[in-house]
Every structure is written in structure tokens, then in C-alpha cells.
């Protein structure tokens, strides 16, 4: 496996062709093993992965502390190659519930101060609000990040889950390195207007959910019982008939993967990689075993016949169920 590189937009840093999304090591997917999580981050850095993605609200700061520990205990050369992307703004209560988003300039700087401390770094490489705050113009939020850049605390502005109009407004304030948004074989909503807009403006995409939270990984059993602290237990795509329909799509994809001698996860990640040099898939591996499998996607070449077969097996809009529960969908500017 040879790690390729890609550049975040026209103004952003050069990063590895695959990034590591660390959320599942702290929250929303059931219990995780801290030692294995740190070992997985170390293995990713050793393999040439440079982009580590987190959010200050993942485990209410747990994820940033975890990444801070992994960076602190990594070899110096690997630590120095790491680029950290942080999402902020999501508000939570002591019970873990979600209470809204805060994009006020003063809040932006407050969130950044805490993230720098938890991560143990002197700057954040890409900083972005997790969801648009409906009560604060995006210009004000991005302007606050731009001030942090001037002060040396942040390197680049990012966006997350916003639509084409918001992207344009944000880009008029400061250069935008990339947009983080869900993109996979069964989540292709960005292709209509969002992806053309980012490409017009020279903004790259870091794609999360490339395996749709494990749904199209090839490892999700039809009869799996999800724990109460697993986000997927409440996700429409994992419910009843929706789940069975979606796993039928996985079975169709599995046939193509087997013909190529690769896994379902590898072909799903390779498909996202094939969509353009401006797209960096984030792999949500929580263990070294899953990390190794995901990295194997870099060695998968999809020709036109493969891509046609994949499109036939999993057509656009083929998935059953929304990406998030109804209440969460209401906060997605990208869906409006």
C-alpha cells in the first residue's frame, strides 16, 4: 500500500488520500477500547495517514483528549506530520442530549481555547462549525475563525454540512479549505448542487460516512441488536424494513467485490476515492484490523466496467431511510 496525497482546496494543506475520523473512538457507536483507539491512531500515522478528524463535542471532550494522548505518545516524526481537523459549536447537556448550535464569534474563540488545551497543540489545522447556527450569519462565524488564523491559533477555515448558498457566503469572507459532508454510495445528495459549487470555488470535500456508519461495510449482520448508546439504534437506515432493503444493496455490492478479490468496505471506499482528486474520504476505523482493511482500498483500481456495475448494484437514491433521525435532519443546511 502506497499512501497517496491530495490537497484541501486551493489554499489548504496537503493531506493523505484517506483521513481518519476518530468520532467512534469516543461516542455514538457503543463502547470503545481506549488502548486500541490510541494504537489505531498510531498505526494510521505509521501508514502515512496525516489527517485526523474530531469534534470538541465527541464524548464531551473525550475524543480531543484521546487524540492529544495519541499525538503525545507517537514518535516525533509521526506527530509532526499529523494535521487535526476540529468541528465545534454543538451544544450538549450533562445527559449527553443535544441542545443546539452556537456560532457566535465569542463562542468560536471560547471553543477553540478549550480544544487547543485538550489536544495539547498550539494550533488547529482546520476549524469548522459542525452545523450552521440559524441565529448567527455564517459570515460572523467564519470571520471569527479568520481572526483566529491571524492570531496563529488556526491554519485553515473549513465548513460542515452546509448548502451551496452558505458555501458561497462563507467563501466571500475568507478562503475555505474544505467542506466536510457525508458522501458515500448510498448518500449522494451533494452531487446535484453542493459538489459543483465546491469545485467552482476551489474547495475540496472531506467525505465522512463513506461506509454509512458500517451499514455498507460488509460487516453488519441482519439480526444485529444495537446497544442503547449506539446512534444507529435510532437511525432510520438501520430500522426494520429499511435495514433489510439496505443490506440487500450490500449483498449486490458484495458480488462485485468478490469478483475483484476485495472486500465490500474496500470497494465502497475505492468508489468514493474515484469520484475526484478533490475528495478525501474519512475512514471511521476504531481498531487496527478495520484500519488495515480500509487502507487496502488504496490498492483497488476501478475501471469503467467496475464503476458501471457498482452503479447498477447501488443506484443513486437507492437507500431506504434518511441519513439522520427527523430532529437531526432539521439542522442540516445541506438538506435545504
pLDDT in tens, 203-225: 999 999 999 988 999 898 888 88
Q: How many CB atoms lie within 10 A of CB 305?
A: 8
Q: Taking a C-beta distance cutoff of 8 angstroms, is the pair 55, 85 a contact?
A: no
Percent helix / strand / coil, the chain, rounded to 5: 45, 20, 40
Write down the pLDDT at residue 62: 94
pLDDT in tens, 79-120: 999 999 999 999 999 988 889 999 999 999 999 999 999 999
Which neighbouring-strand residues pair with 98?
92
Q: What is the mean pLDDT of the chain?
A: 93
pLDDT in tens, 232-245: 877 889 888 988 99
Write down the pLDDT at residue 229: 78
Write down the pLDDT at residue 46: 97
Which of 29, 58, 127, 208 does the annotation list as catalytic? 58
pLDDT in tens, 51-84: 999 999 999 999 999 999 999 999 999 999 999 9
Q: Answer yes or no: 58 catalytic.
A: yes
Percent over 70 (pLDDT), the chain: 99
Q: 22: pLDDT confidence band, cut at 50, 70 and 90?
A: very high
29 or 291, greater pLDDT: 291
Instruction: Report the distance separating Cα 256 and Cα 251, nearest Å.
Output: 9
Write down the pLDDT at residue 336: 64
98 or 25, greater pLDDT: 25
Collapsed DSSP state (helix, strand, coil) of residue 11: coil
Report, in angstroms and rounded to the nearest whole number, the Rg of the chain calculated over CA atoms: 19
CA distances from 159 to 95, 148, 232 (A): 27, 15, 24
| H-state helical runs in the chain | 34-46, 62-73, 76-81, 105-119, 138-150, 164-171, 194-201, 240-260, 264-273, 288-295, 304-313, 326-329
Amino acid at each position: 500500500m502506497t499512501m497517496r496525497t491530495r490537497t484541501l482546496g486551493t489554499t489548504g494543506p496537503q493531506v493523505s488520500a484517506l483521513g481518519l475520523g476518530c468520532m467512534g473512538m469516543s461516542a455514538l457507536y457503543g463502547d470503545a477500547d481506549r488502548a486500541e483507539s490510541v494504537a489505531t491512531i498510531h498505526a494510521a500515522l505509521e501508514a502515512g495517514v496525516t489527517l485526523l478528524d474530531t469534534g470538541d463535542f465527541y464524548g464531551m471532550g473525550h475524543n480531543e483528549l484521546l487524540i492529544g494522548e495519541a499525538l503525545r505518545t507517537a514518535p516525533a516524526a509521526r506527530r509532526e506530520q499529523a494535521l487535526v481537523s476540529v468541528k465545534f459549536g454543538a451544544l450538549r447537556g450533562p445527559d449527553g442530549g443535544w441542545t443546539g448550535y452556537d456560532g457566535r464569534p465569542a463562542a468560536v474563540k471560547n471553543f477553540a481555547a478549550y480544544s487547543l488545551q485538550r489536544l495539547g497543540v498550539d494550533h488547529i489545522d482546520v476549524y469548522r462549525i459542525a452545523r450552521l447556527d440559524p441565529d448567527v450569519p455564517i459570515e460572523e462565524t467564519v470571520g471569527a475563525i479568520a481572526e483566529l488564523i491571524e492570531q496563529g491559533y488556526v491554519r485553515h477555515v473549513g465548513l460542515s454540512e452546509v448548502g451551496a448558498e452558505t458555501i458561497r457566503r462563507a467563501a466571500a469572507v475568507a478562503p475555505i479549505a474544505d467542506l466536510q459532508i457525508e458522501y458515500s454510495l448510498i448518500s449522494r445528495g451533494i452531487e446535484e448542487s453542493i459538489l459543483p459549487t465546491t469545485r467552482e470555488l476551489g474547495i475540496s470535500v472531506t467525505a465522512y460516512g463513506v461506509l454509512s456508519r458500517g451499514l455498507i461495510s460488509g460487516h453488519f449482520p441482519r439480526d444485529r441488536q444495537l446497544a442503547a448508546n449506539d446512534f444507529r439504534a435510532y437511525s432510520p437506515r438501520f430500522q426494520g424494513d429499511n435495514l433489510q432493503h439496505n443490506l440487500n444493496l450490500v449483498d449486490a455490492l458484495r458480488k462485485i467485490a468478490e469478483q475483484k478479490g476485495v472486500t465490500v468496505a474496500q470497494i465502497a471506499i475505492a468508489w468514493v476515492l474515484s469520484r475526484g482528486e478533490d475528495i478525501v474520504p474519512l475512514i471511521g476505523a476504531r481498531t487496527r484490523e478495520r484500519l488495515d482493511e480500509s487502507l487496502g482500498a488504496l490498492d483497488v483500481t476501478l475501471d469503467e466496467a467496475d464503476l458501471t456495475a457498482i452503479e447498477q448494484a447501488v443506484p443513486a437514491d437507492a437507500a431506504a431511510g434518511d441519513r439522520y433521525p427527523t430532529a437531526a435532519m432539521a439542522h442540516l443546511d445541506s438538506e435545504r
